[in-house]
Structure 1
Amino acid sequence: MKFTGTPRIIFFLVILVLNIIADQATKSMMRAHIGYYDQYFFFNNHVTLLRVENTGAFLSLGAKLVQPFRFILITLLPAIALLGALFYSITKKGLGNLMVTGIVFCIGGGMGNLYDRIVRGSVTDFVHLKFGPLQTGIFNAADVSIMIGFGLILLNAFLRRNDDQKAENTVIEDHSVEL
């Protein structure tokens, strides 16, 4: 079942708003309860909660850029990209539910981080994962939303590719029967 028209827009907006609310609520809790130098370890030190204010983008990229370049690269261009993705998702016909959901998760996470960057001047990150030699950068709920969104988009592409291959095989089998 594909959402179309008003139900699609309502679905889109509800998922978008829930992503932003979850992101802002978790960041607010971290700012209220975790000091800058505090660290809390969980699950045999595999999960660490700590508070970092990231003035750059992903993994602090661009944090040392001078103005106006930093504003353009980590605030203005992402805002334009998010608005473009929002417009695309609402107006593009034929996008499946999985693809739309993935795009909405990416936009919601992006908007959560962009809001922080505009209002606070930095993005609050607070989770670090480490499993043996593998570890993440410090991230937040908006980053998780973006990763879930990209995962759903990739899953959609994989499923569509499989559907296209099945349809192609069916067409080939149909033509071979006629010979």
Structure 2
Amino acid sequence: MKISGKIRMILILFLVFLNISCDQISKRVVRQTIEPYERIEVFKDHFVLTKVENTGAAYSLGSDLGPILKIFLLQILPVIVLLFLLRQILIKTNYSKETIIGFAFIIGGGAGNLLDRIMYGSVTDFLILDLVVIKTEIFNLADVSIMLGGVLILYSSLFGKKEVLKNKINELD
């Protein structure tokens, strides 16, 4: 079933804004209810809520940069990249569904963290996982969106082409 251009665009924008909204709502709740560095063990030491304000990027990279360089690298450049990615998935129609969803998640997550940097001067992180196979640093829902988006794009890149090739071969039969 082919989706019309307008509906496709609306669905993509909805997915982007859904990711931004989930991220911003969760951060608002954390900012209002958890004290800085307070530790709430949801499931022993395996799932912990806390609140940290990160003035840099991942792992606080760039937090020591000068103000102008920090604004350029952590605000202006990300805006340009996110707008370019959004333009690509809105205009180009030959991407797989997984790739479009993946980029929408990455754009939504990136925009969520970008909003924090612009509005508060830092990104609110609040989740820590320590499971048998997964041990994380502190993160937020925007980071989850970005990671899930990356996994979807990787999946599509690795396995999507086989489907296209299989369909092309079937068309020749």
The answer, yes or no, to whether TM exceeds 0.5 is yes
Question: Partners in 1 of 2:140 and 2:165 — Cα distance?
Answer: 38
Question: Partners in 2 of 1:100 and 1:39 — Cα distance?
Answer: 37
Deviations along 1:77-106, one digit per CA (max 9) or x if unpaired, are: 111000100111111121122111111010
The equivalent of 2:112 in structure 1 is: 112
CA drift at 1:59: 1.4
1:126 aligns to what SS in structure 2? strand
The equivalent of 1:143 in structure 2 is: 143
Question: Partners in 2 of 1:162 and 1:43 — Cα distance?
Answer: 41
- Which runs of no fewer than 5 residues in structure 2 stay unpaired? none
The equivalent of 1:85 in structure 2 is: 85
One-letter code of the match for 1:19? N
The equivalent of 1:177 in structure 2 is: none
Question: Partners in 1 of 2:2 and 2:150 — Cα distance?
Answer: 20
More divergent stretch after superposition (59-68 vs 106-115): 59-68
The residue correspondences of 1:12-91 to structure 2 (distance < 5 A) are 12-91=12-91
CA drift at 1:162: 2.5
TM-score (norm 1): 0.88
Contact map agreement 1:3 1:97 (CA 8 A) in 2: no
- Which runs of no fewer than 5 residues in structure 1 stay unpaired? 175-179
Percentage of identical aligned residues:
42
| Structure whose alpha-carbon radius of gyration is higher | 1
Question: Partners in 2 of 1:136 and 1:62 — Cα distance?
Answer: 20
Question: Partners in 1 of 2:99 and 2:133 — Cα distance?
Answer: 33
How many residues matched?
A: 172
One-letter code of the match for 1:68? I
2:139 aligns to what SS in structure 1? coil
1:135 aligns to what SS in structure 2? coil
CA-based RMSD of the aligned residues comes to: 2.0
Q: Quick one: structure 1 residues 151 and 133, their matched pair in 2 at CA, closer, same or farther if it must change by over 3 Å?
A: closer
Question: Partners in 1 of 2:65 and 2:159 — Cα distance?
Answer: 40
The equivalent of 2:5 in structure 1 is: 5
One-letter code of the match for 1:112? G
TM-score (norm 2): 0.91
Question: Partners in 2 of 1:78 and 1:103 — Cα distance?
Answer: 14
Question: Partners in 1 of 2:25 and 2:38 — Cα distance?
Answer: 19
